[in-house]
């Protein structure tokens, strides 16, 4: 879909042996990952149809073993560790240009966090040090944002639920080192992580907060510690297209400074809205994807044909 022409091009891909819905990663240089906790990750270049199937990670193998195990009648069962709070990320090393896949997951009911990384050129999963994440758990039901060589997550409690005093978990893809840093100063300490959205917008890290008055402010990072407010939206003006919902934050998918428009989506909703950012304009374009799904910004690339071949 194009912000200027509003033209959508459709391409269908068939996946064999599907037993449940696949998830899709953020696009990186025209590549996307399709995955599930019990299915090998497939890295696809939609522009060429080229793809590779990667080996299973440890967390995937553990889940498969758990699902295939026969139930045992035990009067004194021992609780097994769970890894349900997992998050998959995909990004590019800003130094050497190598693509890496990242599985980050909380070990419940403990508060430890585990991370597996796969370099697309090596095609082998390995563990990386997560000691800096001690007592910091990822927020459940979120996709990390990739921007400027790093992946970003929001923190949650040990069960993955939103919390106050939210922090950012940052993973440098080149050094493979984690940091836990405060959110920017315009995100107040009492802000729930469930009202904060992280994403990549036009190649920059974008963070937004839904306030109590149903207004959501969107900022993106200009430099390391410099942020610029780019626009704000009153969700009461967009709720018509999102089933009246004003209590969940929107996610921007694309922005055009030439036309002063932004495409917005809402999690678990299949509609998109192209909103004119002119404060005096009431012009909106409504798009319906017809089927429930996940919308991911994507820019095709033909130059990466050889990057994902076996």
- Residue 219 domain-assigned (yes or no): no
Check residue 178 and give its pLDDT: 97
119 DSSP β-pair partners: 100
Check residue 14 and give its pLDDT: 64
- Residue 99 domain-assigned (yes or no): yes
- Residue 246 domain-assigned (yes or no): no
CATH code, domain carrying 100: 2.120.10.80
Q: Calculate the CA 179 to chain-centre distance.
A: 18
Check residue 78 and give its pLDDT: 43
Check residue 205 and give its pLDDT: 94
Check residue 70 and give its pLDDT: 60
Cβ atoms of residues 3 and 261 within 8 Å = yes
Sheet holding 261-265, edge to edge: 251-256, 261-265, 271-276, 284-288
- Least Cα distance to 115 among 126, 123, 124, 32 occurs for 126
- Residue 134 domain-assigned (yes or no): yes
- Residue 199 domain-assigned (yes or no): no
Check residue 286 and give its pLDDT: 47
Q: Calculate the CA 289 to chain-centre distance.
A: 20
| Domain count of the fold of the chain | 1
* Helical ranges in 32-155 per DSSP H: 58-68
- Residue 194 domain-assigned (yes or no): no
Check residue 268 and give its pLDDT: 66
Cβ atoms of residues 243 and 286 within 8 Å = no
- Residue 125 domain-assigned (yes or no): yes
pLDDT tens-place values along the chain, 310 residues long: 444 444 455 666 666 666 667 888 988 998 999 998 888 999 999 888 889 999 999 988 888 887 776 655 555 544 455 555 789 999 999 999 999 999 998 876 566 788 999 999 999 999 999 999 988 888 887 889 999 999 999 998 877 788 888 999 999 999 999 999 999 988 888 888 889 999 999 889 999 999 889 999 999 998 778 999 999 988 888 777 777 888 888 889 888 877 788 888 887 666 777 878 776 655 555 455 544 455 666 666 765 545 555 5
- For residue 117, the enclosing domain spans 21-67+81-182
Q: Is the pTM of this model over 0.95?
A: no
- Residue 163 domain-assigned (yes or no): yes
């Amino acid at each position: 879909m194009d912000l200027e022409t509003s033209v959508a091009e459709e391409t269908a891909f068939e996946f064999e042996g599907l037993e449940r819905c696949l998830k899709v990663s953020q696009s990186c240089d025209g590549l996307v990952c399709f995955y599930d906790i019990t299915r090998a990750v497939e890295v696809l270049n939609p522009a060429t149809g080229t793809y590779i199937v990667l080996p299973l990670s440890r967390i995937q193998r553990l889940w498969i073993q758990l699902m295939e195990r026969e139930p045992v009648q035990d009067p004194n069962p021992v609780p097994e560790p769970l890894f349900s709070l997992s998050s998959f990320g995909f990004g590019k090393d800003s130094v050497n240009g190598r693509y890496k896949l990242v599985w980050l997951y909380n070990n419940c009911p403990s508060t430890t966090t585990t991370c597996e990384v796969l370099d697309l050129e090596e095609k082998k999963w390995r563990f990386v040090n997560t000691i800096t994440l001690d007592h910091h758990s990822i927020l459940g039901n979120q996709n990390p944002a990739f921007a400027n060589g790093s992946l970003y997550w929001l923190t949650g409690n040990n069960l993955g639920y939103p919390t106050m005093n939210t922090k950012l978990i940052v993973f440098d893809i080149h050094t493979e080192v984690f940091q836990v840093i405060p959110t920017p100063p315009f995100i107040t300490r009492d802000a729930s992580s469930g009202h904060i959205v992280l994403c990549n917008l036009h190649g920059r890290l974008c963070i937004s907060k839904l306030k109590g008055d149903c207004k959501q402010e969107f900022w993106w990072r200009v430099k390391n510690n410099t942020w610029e407010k780019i626009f704000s939206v009153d969700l009461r003006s967009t709720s018509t297209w999102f089933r009246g919902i004003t209590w969940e934050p929107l996610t921007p998918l694309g922005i055009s400074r030439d036309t002063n428009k932004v495409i917005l989506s809402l999690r678990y909703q299949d509609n998109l809205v192209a909103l004119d950012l002119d404060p005096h304009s009431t012009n909106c374009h409504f798009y319906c994807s017809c089927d429930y799904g996940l919308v991911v910004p994507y820019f095709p690339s033909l130059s990466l044909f050889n990057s994902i071949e076996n």
